[in-house]
Structures are given as C-alpha cells and as structure tokens.
Amino acid sequence: MIKKIRIAIQKSGRLNEDSLQILKDCGVSIDNGRDQLKANAANFPLEVFYLRNGDIPQYLRDGVVDIAILGENVLIEKGDDIAIAQKLGFSKCRVSLALPKGTKYDSVKDFEGKKIATSYPNTVLGYLSQFGVKADLHIINGSVEIAPNIGLADAICDIVSSGSTLFKNGLKEVEVMLKSEAVLAVSSKIDAERQEILDKLLFRIQSVLKGRD
C-alpha cells in the first residue's frame, strides 16, 4: 500500500482557508465535507487532519502527523524543538503586549508586578525575563483583549494582525515581542517514504510562493 503524508491544518480560524488554498494552488485538491476531521487528497498521497492550533505541536512531536501548517508563534510558544521546512508568507501577525489606551508607558520595566492576561505564557515569560521583569500571568484561551475592561488584568499579550481588536477594546500595542507568519513544520519522526512525498510537496509549494511574489 502506498503511504500518505499526514498533514495537520487548523480546524477553524484564520489559517484554515489560506492553508487549504496553498494546497489547492499546489494542485492538491481535498474533497471534504466541512464537518469531517479527516480528509483525503484526490490526486496526491496526502491525508488532512483538522486540529486545534495549540494541539498541533504535540501531534508533530508524537509523529502522529508528519507535517503541519500553523503559525510560527504557536511553535515558538509550544514547540521550540520542531523544525520548520518552509515559511509560507501568509497569516502575518505580531505577538504583542498591550495596555489600556490611557496608561502611561515608558519601557518594558513598566510591566513589573503587572497582571497580564494571555494565551502565550511561555512567550511572555521568555520576553520579560530578558529584561529581568517579573509579571503575574493570567492564562486564558480566547477573547484576551476583554481582560483589562472586566478588571481581570492590567495588560494583555496576544496576536495583533489588523489591530482592530485592540482598538475596539481601548488598548494600545506597546511592545512587539515577535513577528510571525504561517509555516510548514515537520515532525522529526517522519519516515523515508513520507519524506519523499514531502520533498515533492515542498517543490510545488516553493513554485507557488515564487509565483505569488
């Protein structure tokens, strides 16, 4: 039986559509009912698993998927050990610290002792520790920008893309901790046969990216 390469893609959210689009542009068409968590490519040895963003690094580590399209920021937060085969040029964003608009801000030292709501604790702790700053983290999984308004935190750290969520919640971006985009990540457990399939896919992806420039 011919092996298939197993790719993880964000189940729902901002990367989902662009991820499927780049596969389509590579000539890999996926026939799926929207509700399925697993789908096959019709004309390429590839199987798609639709997963939650934050779970993908662990699936790669375990080798239950071979490759994944996900935000580099998620890898930095949860999978520093996982290799990136290709940056994909879409879903560009920043991971930033933000404060209520009226708050005076001079430097990152101002976060000392502050309560920060975030879904990216490792990224925040790593960043602040470079400056010797200790803050109190409050970990939440979504709607982070609401935290200062409801008295849950003094500040937030989250993804900023257009900036509209910050704006709507009366927050200002004060520190850009990192810049991120979608990447193709690879499991260290990928076998030789699937590595060959990956090489073919990468060749196509690189041609597509050249065409997009």
Residues that bind ligand PRP (CB under 6 A): 13-14, 142-145, 158-165
CB of 36 to ligand PRP, least distance (A): 22
**Please, which residue, 28 or 144, has the CB nearer to ligand PRP?**
144
Contact 53, 71 (CB under 8 A): yes
23 or 160, CB closer to ligand PRP?
160
Q: What is the DSSP letter of 37?
A: S
In the complex, least distance from residue 10 CB atom to ligand PRP, rounded to whole angstroms: 10
Cβ closest to ligand PRP, residue 130 vs residue 164: 164
What is the strand order of the sheet 155-160 is part of?
136-139, 115-118, 155-160, 93-100, 171-180
* Burial class of residue 121 (count of CB atoms within 10 Å of its CB; 0-12, 13-18, 19+): middle
Chain centroid offset of residue 163 CA: 17
Least Å distance, CB 141 to ligand PRP, is: 7
Would you call 71 helix, strand, or coil by DSSP?
strand
Name the residue whose CB lies closest to ligand PRP. Answer: 142
Kindly state the smallest distance separating residue 164's Cβ from ligand PRP, in Å.
4
Taking the C-alpha atoms of residue 31 and residue 41, their distance in angstroms, rounded to an integer, is 6
For residues 190 and 67, the answer to whether their CB atoms sit within 8 Å is yes
Residue 171 burial class via C-beta count within 10 angstroms: exposed 0-12, middle 13-18, buried 19 and up: buried
Q: Judged by CB, which is closer to ligand PRP: 5, or 183? A: 183
Pairing of β 93-100 and β 155-160: antiparallel
Minimum Å gap between C-beta 29 and ligand PRP is 27
Instruction: CB nearer to ligand PRP: give 66 or 145.
Output: 145
- Closest contact distance (angstroms) between CB of 44 and ligand PRP is 29
Residue (26 or 160) nearer to ligand PRP, CB: 160
Structure tokens that stand for 162 in this block:
């257009």
